[in-house]
Structure 1
């Protein structure tokens, strides 16, 4: 088996070798059209992205600033992941009407639920603007360079004619060696149409997250609304369904191994061009620190969520968010080791040096800087994760920033209103009592893992976890920040307006608050002993990384380079493929409904299955959604190079038809953000057959199917 896998890697045809050896997240105006066609694509690059006439890009949107979604009907029907719509489903849920547990399906447009603040962004055009942005930047210092580039960006944006609902965003690529301008249209009336119960949409929950085989129906449905002229508008009952320039036909054809696929979406962040030393630090120091912090937080939350339904609802979205990257980092570390990423990077650097000896100086400087930065980077990882995951400290940090803004005269009415709105949202899903335990345990971890020179004076008293739980609970009880003590006659967690009625008194009280004092000592120590050194060294690393990137591109003429992901619109492509990630382990590319039933555990919060789905399976009532096996396909894997932000991205076939909905990656390949490896890197997609089966047979919402163009 091993020999066969290695042969398949090294005997790939040239076009496939580039796509598979390095992966690829390509700017849609700079597609490798020949390579894509060599792999099986039947449409043209212009069919994918064309600013002059309708193309597939007109059906792909960034969903609420983070995920991707796609339009699948002429009436603005939007498909994205269940986990991307999770917060909105949660917002409409109560203990009495729990849409997370029960699901939601509007039976007509009048029942669709508004979601204030949710937006979708269309990319209207992309232009390379490197010359305009880098004009006049030769021989500048780093601080002068940043200022000049920022000025050039503003000059360019101001020179462009846009509609009131359009914005221009200029993005750096290749570590500042190139720049691109994106024209964006934002729609602000987005309504919830349908979501399966989480026993389908989140089936397998945290146990199956990042894992294959997968049986999760990770989808939800929304609709874009516009004004009577089909233009963006704030929510209004008078708005009408948006009429798209293009929408995706939905294919329910069977999939076969080696079928061509491409994924179109907004990948968040990758770092494919780091030097070997950086990868080594991530693998051996940074990721393990992050994992350790989240491990403690998650275990503490899970204990409470399993026995208290109100806590489960309140913390479900946050828990999933914390667990997501915790598990990803675990897989990333294992994948970097398994793929020999550090050795692979070192060998590549050596090959570059033989072609261009000047690169050795750059590598030597990077090695020295990363080693100098290592203790500060480790403290940064621990500090950042502790403050992020101990919500009581997160609150203290918010109030610290608020007080600084007030004292600097930067807190105007608009800023204050925004701050209070953020606080209200935070307190709504915050349990001071529960988080006191999280904070206590994380302070113990931080104190034990942090070198003494980075700790506040006397902080050793927080080393004992059991003692901390009692101490922090007492601190929490007497704190106005936690909402368990009052200021101006009100609790901040219950009546923010009254608590803020006397701002001077509020600030005075917060400054004397025990949580604030605890956090301030922690922050002051970090800002004094670690942050300046970490930041200063990172600036030097960034400048050298820019040079290293330029040297790679100039030296390696045989390699086709794509820019790292940065939440801009990208295309990645590959083939439907199974995998063999470990010795004697081989995975098929497709899972089926039978696998859902096999995993079924009655009453379990991760693996329960709705009775109706069990009944449909028992009757084999699959309609047109079964495949050649006679079962309903649930999910499949392919070699598309994806990352966070690609959640909800359409997976398309050779003709541009929707065949799946991207929602995850295979755990053994999560290191693809840093080191794509064709042996292990697989993206995971919900099969369109399963999506339509759930909508039609399970939800009895055929009216939504009738909107779509189905390719049979």
Structure 2
């Protein structure tokens, strides 16, 4: 054999080994399973066919999966349109029905019959009717010499024509989404139901057990579920809310297995994952992990420590800041896990090694070399160029997000701009509406907390971002207070008219022209506008131009990867909130030296974490009683109550509420989270440590039946063994 043939064979062997090691990776389009995945899925243990998962000629699994509100996934689990999703997905609806007298968040809620089920304005459930490849039509008028703007304009015109001519029913909708960085396009015919009613929810002490402390963490003991029902017109079609509507008769609903799972059992997750970026070059991963994640974590870490200190000392502040703290902590924790996971698994090094093999294959083929020879290096170079601008953007975004005084400033500027556009004659009317809106803001605002947050974040921002990206005016203000966060914050909060509703009302009692003039003198407004101006002038323009270059090159690089590596690797498109299926196996994992996690948790673990009166780890008295008596009914196993389990399914945000399915397509669990070390799966899936977390369906049924006494709901379902 020639040396060149040996080298080429080794490259192919490397790629085949890479494909084998990542067998559970991927978020696959369901209509392509028979072509790309069915053989492997069956080899891993699947007992049904690809047609049982996706079919347009008969009821299939896809007909039981809905996009819940456009932000989560839910599944139909009865012939009467009963929906199952996460507690955190239904949280907004549950909260909207809660009051001091009926606190459903704290106490739970269970409709005793369909008449008691609660309607939810603007909550929707969207089914996928069918999916079609429209790539050829979408790219019909695209030529190689077009600019990105010209290319997109040509595509948009074609997409409009495709939508006009698609065959669909009057009540159905159409959407078209780009895939593989705009190299392919798929059309989705959808059916959206707008009457979705709350059926039941456990108390937050079950549905949110562990709260922020356990978020992104395994072992997990959270009963993260809630139930809704889809209602339709009497013709079973989508209809606005009406008391005359009837429960949906679905094309398919999921049978529920009580068998449970064991190690290496095949599992699938079917849902609407939000966003991933799996095909980035190495410099993009470096930028994310080494620069952007660390900047955002530093800002949020400082803000969280201040909030936590006040919340522990003051019950009123705890109430005001509980939601803000949870929102801030969610991605702070995710980004830390992402950094740790990529570094632990050598994610960047693997990217670099893969790129070296890609270059070798490209250079060995004259056609590929001519077409793709420079694309990877050019793309990596653009990421190096964008690094300081992207870092400045994230520091700025975190500053104005977490210092609420700057948010007030932005709201005030927007109000004054509206007055300017509509005319000063409407000032009084618009002022009244604006102040009314601000009352709810200030109810959950504490200037002392915000002052101390700003002390920390101003120091981090001005020390972490080079002055050339901040701008002269903002940096001048920083210098006026001796480049000191506390001195700057003291001036802002002592002198600004924005720190309380009373001061804001006093400011706006003046005529419009007076308010505008005083705005320039207010220290908070002065700094806020200077920061915004500096960002606009010194960061935004170059950032946007470079990002446009990256988008262009990323599209070409994506096509290059598919062309060059397509014979040895299957490609799945990045998540974009469209229907996908992922599959894997039940399995524990070893995140670090001397730590080995099992794949199941039990109610015993809930009681081990139990802290009476603690807002994260308190437990309802009835749950304690059921545990003590081991009164688990048909849902327990050998005197134990399963709660959660993990598997190697590739999931992300938007998969919350997705069904976990066994080899026969039966419902065995409900996806709600990922393990901390595996949150890197959005950019770097690694089967060794990437795990999704699911609540066992038997725990769901145990809570519904034995804890809540809502046995009539279980009786609706089809339980199988």
TM (normalized to structure 2)?
A: 0.88
Q: Tell me which residue corresponds to 1:541.
A: 550
Q: Alpha-carbon deviation of 1:252?
A: 1.3
Alpha carbons 1:59, 1:244 under 8 Å: kept: yes
Between 1:517-526 and 1:89-98, the stretch displaced more is 89-98
Partner of 1:459: 477
Deviates more, 1:396-405 or 1:21-30: 396-405
1:138-149 matches, cutoff 5 A: 138=143, 139-149=145-155
CA distance in structure 2 between the aligned counterparts of 1:610 and 1:599, rounded to whole angstroms: 13
**1:606 is the counterpart of 2:616:** yes
Q: Give the alignment of 1:558-577 within 5 angstroms.
A: 558-577=568-587
Q: How has the CA–CA distance of structure 1 residues 211 and 450 changed in structure 2, closer, same or farther, with 3 Å as cutoff? A: same
Pick one of 112, 123, 137 that aligns with 1:118.
Answer: 123
Q: Could you say which residue in structure 2 is the equivalent of 1:29?
A: 31
Please say if 1:485 is aligned against 2:507: no
Task: Give the corresponding residue for 1:48.
Answer: 53
Q: Does 1:168 align with 2:187?
A: no
- Are positions 1:132 and 2:137 aligned together? yes
Which of 680, 697, 704 aligns to 1:695? It is 704
Q: Which residue does the alignment assign to 2:392?
A: 379
Instruction: Tell me how far apart the structure 2 counterparts of residues 87 and 108 of structure 1 sit (CA, whole Å).
Output: 22
Quote the residue 2:540 is aligned against: 531
Aligned-pair CA distance for 1:89: 2.2
Matches within 5 A, 1:287-686: 287-309=293-315, 311-357=317-363, 358=369, 359-398=372-411, 400=413, 427=441, 430-431=444-445, 433=447, 434-455=449-470, 456-460=474-478, 461=480, 463-474=483-494, 478-479=497-498, 484-486=503-505, 515-556=524-565, 557-627=567-637, 629-686=638-695
- Change over 3 Å in CA distance of 1:507–1:27 after alignment to 2: farther
State the distance in 1 between where 2:486 and 2:300 align.
Answer: 18
| Structure 1 pair 167–427 and aligned structure 2 pair: CA distance change class (3 A) | farther
The whole-number CA distance in structure 1 between the counterparts of 2:629 and 2:680 is 42
SS in 2 for 1:85: helix
Q: Deviations over 1:546-584 (max 9, x none)?
A: 111111100112000000111111000011111122222
Report the Cα distance in structure 1 between the residues aligned to 2:346 and 2:417, rounded to whole angstroms: 46
- Report if the CA contact (8 A) 1:339-1:677 is conserved: yes
2:39 match: secondary structure: helix
The 1:292/1:469 distance shift into structure 2, 3 A limit, reads: same
CA RMSD of aligned residues (A): 3.1
Deviation at 1:72, TM superposition (A): 1.0
| C-alpha displacement of 1:87 | 2.2
**8 Å CA contact 1:391, 1:435 repeated in 2:** yes
Deviates more, 1:389-398 or 1:225-234: 389-398
What is the deviation of 1:80? 0.9
Give CA-to-partner distance per residue, 1:161-207, whole Å, 9 cap, x none.
Answer: 54454322111111111011112222222222222122111111111
CA 1:470–1:216: 2 relative to 1, 3 Å:
same
Deviations 1:283-311 (A, max 9, x none): 11010111112222323333344455555
Structure 2 counterpart of 1:281, from 287, 303, 318: 287
Equivalent residues of 1:395, 1:481 under 8 A apart: no
Shift of 1:155: 2.3
SS at match of 1:245: coil
The DSSP-based 3-state class of the residue aligned with 1:255 is: coil
Q: Deviations over 1:676-698 (max 9, x none)?
A: 11110111100001111111111
Structure number with larger C-alpha Rg: 2
User: Higher mean Cα deviation, 52-61 or 521-530?
Assistant: 52-61
Cα pair 1:70 1:78 within 8 Å, conserved: yes
Residues 218, 468 of structure 1: CA spacing in aligned structure 2 closer, same or farther, 3 A cutoff? farther
Change (3 A) 1:648 1:314: farther
Q: 1:483 to 1:47 in 2, by over 3 A?
A: farther
Residue 104 of structure 1 aligns with which residue?
109
CA-to-aligned-CA distance 1:473-508 (integer Å, 9 cap, x gap):
3356x2299675227988xxxxxxxx9xx9999988
Structure 1: where are the runs of 5+ without partners?
A: 1-10, 491-498
Taking structure 1 as the reference length, the TM-score comes to 0.89
Distance 1:621 1:453 in 2: 66
Paired with 2:618 and 2:191, the residues of 1 have a C-alpha distance of 41
Deviations 1:222-247 (A, max 9, x none): 22222232222333333322222211
Aligned mates of 1:373, 1:391 — CA distance in 2:
28
Offset, 1:595 = 0.7
Contact 1:20/1:574 (<8 A) preserved: no
Relative to structure 2, which stretch is displaced further, 551-560 or 606-615? 606-615
Give the length in aligned residue pairs: 684
Structure-1 separation of matches of 2:60 and 2:348 = 41
Partner of 1:495: none
8 Å CA contact 1:272, 1:564 repeated in 2: yes
CA distance in 2, matches of 1:425, 1:552: 53
Cα distance in 1 for partners of 2:231, 2:340 equals: 44
- The 8 Å contact of residues 268 and 566 in structure 1, kept in 2 or not, is answered as yes
Q: Distance between the aligned counterparts of 1:25 and 1:422, measured in 2?
A: 45
Counterpart-to-counterpart distance in 1, 2:149 and 2:586: 47
Aligned-partner Cα distance in 2 for 1:636–1:157: 42
The CA distance in 2 between the partners of 1:54 and 1:504, in whole Å, is 65
Residue of structure 1 aligned with 2:43, choices 38, 62, 74: 38
1:338 to partner: Cα distance: 0.5
- Matched position secondary structure for 1:243: coil
Q: CA deviation at 1:430?
A: 3.8
Are 1:180 and 2:194 matched, yes or no? no
Residues 474, 363 of structure 1: alpha-carbon distance in 2 compared, 3 angstrom cutoff = same
